Amino acid sequence: MKLLYITNGITGAGGLERVLSVKTSMLAEDFGYTVHILSLNEGGVKPFFTFSDKVVLHSAELPGNPVYYFFKYKTGIQKTVSKVQPEIICVCDDGLKGFFLPYMIRTEAKWIYESHASVNLGDRGRGVSVGVKFQHSLKQVLGKAFSKIVLLTESNKKEWALDNLVIIPNPLPFQISGVSSLQSKKVIAVGSFGYNKGYDLLLKIWQNVETGFPDWELDVYGKGTYENLLPDADKLGLQRINFHQPAADIATKYLESSIFVLPSRSEGFGMVIIEATSCGLPVVSFNCPHGPGDIITDGKDGFLIENGNNIQFAQKLQLLMANADLRLELGSAGKKSSEKYLPQKIVRQWDDLFSSLVQSNN
Residue ranges of domains in the chain: 2-171+342-359, 186-340
Among 301, 297, 275, CA closest to 287: 297
CATH of 186-340, one of 3.30.70.100, 3.40.605.10, 3.30.300.30, 3.40.50.2000: 3.40.50.2000
Q: In the structure, what pLDDT confidence band is assigned to residue 347 with cuts at 50, 70 and 90?
A: very high
Question: Do the first three CATH levels of 2-171+342-359 and 186-340 match, i.e. the same topology?
Answer: yes
User: pLDDT tens digits for 146-186?
Assistant: 999 999 999 899 899 999 999 999 999 888 889 999 999 99
Q: What is the pLDDT of residue 127?
A: 62
Average pLDDT, rounded, for the chain? 93
Query: DSSP readout, 41-86?
Result: S-TTPPPSS---TTSEEEEE---SSHHHHHHHHHHHHHHHHHHH--
Read off the pLDDT band of 13 (50, 70, 90).
confident
User: SS3 of 185, please?
Assistant: coil
Name the residue with higher pLDDT: 42 or 128: 42
Using one digit for the tens of pLDDT, what is the confidence trace for 231-267?
Answer: 999 999 999 999 999 887 899 999 999 999 999 999 9
How far are the Cα atoms of 3, 88, 334 from residue 355, in angstroms, in the given order?
A: 12, 10, 32
Average pLDDT estimate for 78-92: 98
Question: Binning pLDDT at 50, 70 and 90, where does residue 71 land?
Answer: confident
281: three-class secondary structure by DSSP:
coil
Confidence at residue 120, expressed as pLDDT on a 0 to 100 scale: 56
Burial of 8 (0-12, 13-18, 19+ CB in 10 A): middle
280 vs 276: CA distance, rounded Å? 7
- Mean pLDDT in residue range 106-110: 98
The amino acid at 223 = K
What is the CA 329 to chain-centroid distance, rounded? Answer: 26
- CA separation for the pair 272, 279 (Å, rounded): 11
- End-to-end, the C-alpha distance of the chain in Å comes to 14
**pLDDT above 70 as % of the chain:** 96
Provide the strand spans (E) within 202-271.
217-221, 241-244, 259-262
pLDDT-based confidence at residue 121 (cuts at 50, 70, 90): low
Tell the CATH superfamily of the 2-171+342-359 domain: Glycogen Phosphorylase B; (3.40.50.2000)
